[in-house]
DNA sequence: AGTTCCCTGAGG
DNA sequence: CCTCAGGGAACT
């Protein structure tokens, strides 16, 4: 499931493939993939792609004329660039949207393909300003790779509730999901049910560092391929072999041998070591 | 702040 | 068959 490292990997792979290309046509194969109206999305035809960026787990494809495309992969979304011939050869039933790009000299047109088995993914198209003002995007918190100690501590102190729940809140930090929240808490030695606002300053700093380290290391490994995540070129990520608690409920802790506990928090499973992680 | 729902393939 | 996984929106 794509979280910040997986989305960052996708953005880095797509950037050189898309920047400078023009969009000739937009084809929607599954209407529910498009958030809101289809009209502004259709109007993306003709724009020239200027930049590909990440905001939290959202992918921004910035175009000319102050128009953009925003993509959220959610659980099973995949983005890639395929030649028309390769696209036809695959006859993939899970393709939900394509953007036809201008042909490179002497070659057939390429397609930016959005495939998504479970249809949880969403795309938004339209004026860049209007997209940035969308509630989900406007309320996104700071990037965990960029936030500094004082700001992180202040944000923690301003919130109530359990630490794990807070880490999953995209308005607190943008980009951390279930996998890296569990892993960062383990590496920081902090219990997922710890009260966020009561965390001491040193422990808060340890957590911030753990989040940054785990995310950066995963980016270097190309993210984690747990079930459906693959790079735009079809390669898997390699970070899942580094995971120490996620998905390991009932197994032995790799540090101390204690049995990893699995609890459910807001419909999401949480795994932690009851001995290594303290409230 | 907690619950429900969306969706489909995989595994029992 | 049934159940489970899960990000985030939309509820209560």
Query: Where residue A243 falls among pLDDT bands split at 50, 70, 90?
Result: confident
pLDDT tens per residue across span A44-103: 999 999 999 999 999 999 999 999 999 999 888 899 999 999 999 988 899 999 999 998
Distance A103 CA to C6 C1' (A): 38
Supply the mean pLDDT for chain A: 89
Domain A4-138: give its CATH architecture.
Alpha-Beta Barrel (3.20)
Token pair in block for residue A191: 């219990």
Token pair in block for residue A6: 């997986």
Which bases of strand B sit closer than 7 A to a protein CB? Answer: 1-9
Whole-model pTM: value is 0.94
pLDDT at residue number A27: 92
Contact A164, A183 (CB under 8 A): no
Whether residue A268 lies in the annotated active site? yes
**Is residue A52 helix, strand or coil?**
strand
Is it the case that residue A231 has pLDDT exceeding 80?
no
How large a percentage of chain A has pLDDT more than 70? 97
Which bases of strand C sit closer than 7 A to a protein CB? Answer: 5-10
Residues with CB under 7 A from strand B: A 32, 75, 117-120, 160-162, 165, 266-267
Residue nearest to nucleotide B5 (CA to C1'): A120
Q: Name the CATH topology of A149-272.
A: Helicase, Ruva Protein; domain 3 (1.10.8)
CA A126 – CA A101 distance, rounded (Å)? 18
- Domain spans in chain A, listed from the N-terminal domain onward: 4-138, 149-272
Distance A169 CA to C12 C1' (A): 19
Whether residue A261 lies in the annotated active site? no
pLDDT tens per residue across span A42-55: 889 999 999 999 99
Query: Where residue A227 falls among pLDDT bands split at 50, 70, 90?
Result: low
Query: Where residue A199 falls among pLDDT bands split at 50, 70, 90?
Result: very high
pLDDT tens per residue across span A124-153: 999 999 888 888 888 899 999 999 999 999
């Amino acid at each position: 499931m794509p979280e910040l490292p997986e989305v960052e990997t996708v953005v880095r792979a797509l950037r050189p493939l898309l920047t400078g290309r023009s969009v000739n046509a937009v084809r929607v194969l599954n209407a529910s993939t498009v958030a809101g109206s289809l009209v502004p999305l259709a109007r993306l035809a003709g724009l020239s792609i200027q930049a590909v960026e990440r905001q939290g787990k959202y992918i921004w494809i910035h175009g000319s004329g102050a128009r953009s495309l925003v993509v959220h992969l959610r659980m099973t979304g995949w983005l890639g660039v395929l030649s028309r011939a390769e696209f036809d050869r695959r006859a993939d039933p899970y393709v939900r949207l394509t953007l036809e790009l201008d042909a490179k000299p002497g070659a057939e047109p390429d397609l930016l393909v959005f495939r998504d088995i479970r249809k949880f993914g969403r795309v938004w198209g339209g004026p860049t300003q209007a997209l940035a003002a969308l509630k989900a995007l406007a309320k996104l918190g700071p990037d965990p790779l960029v936030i500094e100690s004082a700001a992180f501590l202040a944000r923690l102190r301003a919130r109530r509730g359990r630490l794990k729940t807070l880490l999953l809140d995209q308005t607190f930090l943008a980009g951390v999901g279930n996998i890296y929240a569990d892993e960062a808490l383990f590496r920081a030695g902090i219990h997922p049910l710890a009260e966020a606002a009561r965390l001491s300053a040193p422990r808060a700093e340890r957590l911030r560092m753990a989040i940054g380290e785990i995310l950066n290391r995963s980016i270097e490994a190309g993210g984690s391929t747990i079930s459906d995540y693959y790079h735009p070129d079809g390669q898997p990520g390699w970070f899942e072999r580094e995971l120490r608690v996620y998905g390991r409920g009932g197994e032995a802790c790799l540090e101390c041998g204690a049995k990893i506990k699995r609890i459910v928090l807001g419909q999401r499973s949480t795994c932690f070591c009851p001995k290594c992680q303290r409230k």
